[in-house]
């Protein structure tokens, strides 16, 4: 959901990669539905592992609960967003998570000098 928000709000002004330390088999259908409700299609996304080279090249690395499994490289901006895991939740429970992710993405983009609408 975070990558979907970044792509939507930054409108091509920033490159985003989404990966996990222990990715599942498919994107949560409730997350897909919740994002569709706000006009963002993430149905073509798929869970993938993080790639060390991409983390090394990133300006900002946002983690969501991967703890010691995430690589740390000096000089990078790191933020860990403590959010409820939407895995196994229905769309009603995913909506507030979606909205909190949006709020944090807007704040991050603004901190990076990227205005959002």
Give pLDDT tens digits for 56-104.
Answer: 888 898 988 777 777 788 888 888 899 998 989 999 999 999 999 999 9
Report the pLDDT averaged over residues 1-10.
96
| CA–CA dist 71, 56 (Å, integer) | 9
Helix or strand (DSSP H, E) at 100 = helix 91-111
User: What 3-state DSSP class applies to 8?
Assistant: helix
Mean of all residue pLDDT scores within the chain? 90
Which run of H or E residues covers position 7?
helix 2-10
Over residues 24-40, mean pLDDT = 94
Q: What pLDDT shows up at residue 116? A: 87
Question: Which residues partner with 20 through β-bridges?
Answer: 49
- Walk me through the domains of the chain, giving residue ranges and CATH numbers: 2-111 (3.40.50.2300)
How many Cα atoms occupy the beta-carbon half-sphere of 107 within 13 Å? 9
* Residue 55: pLDDT over 90: no
pLDDT category at 24 given cuts 50, 70, 90 is: confident
Cα separation values, 70 from 20, 110, 113, Å: 8, 25, 26
């Amino acid at each position: 959901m975070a990558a979907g928000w970044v792509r939507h709000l930054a409108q091509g002004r920033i490159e985003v990669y989404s990966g996990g330390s222990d990715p599942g088999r498919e994107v949560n259908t409730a997350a897909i539905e919740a994002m569709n409700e706000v006009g963002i299609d993430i149905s073509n996304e798929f869970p993938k592992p993080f790639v060390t080279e991409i983390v090394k090249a990133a300006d900002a690395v946002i983690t969501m609960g991967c703890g010691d499994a995430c690589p740390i490289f000096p000089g990078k901006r790191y933020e860990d967003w403590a959010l409820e895991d939407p895995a196994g939740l229905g769309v009603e429970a995913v909506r507030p998570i979606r909205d909190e992710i949006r709020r944090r993405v807007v704040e991050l983009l603004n901190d990076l000098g990227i205005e959002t609408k």
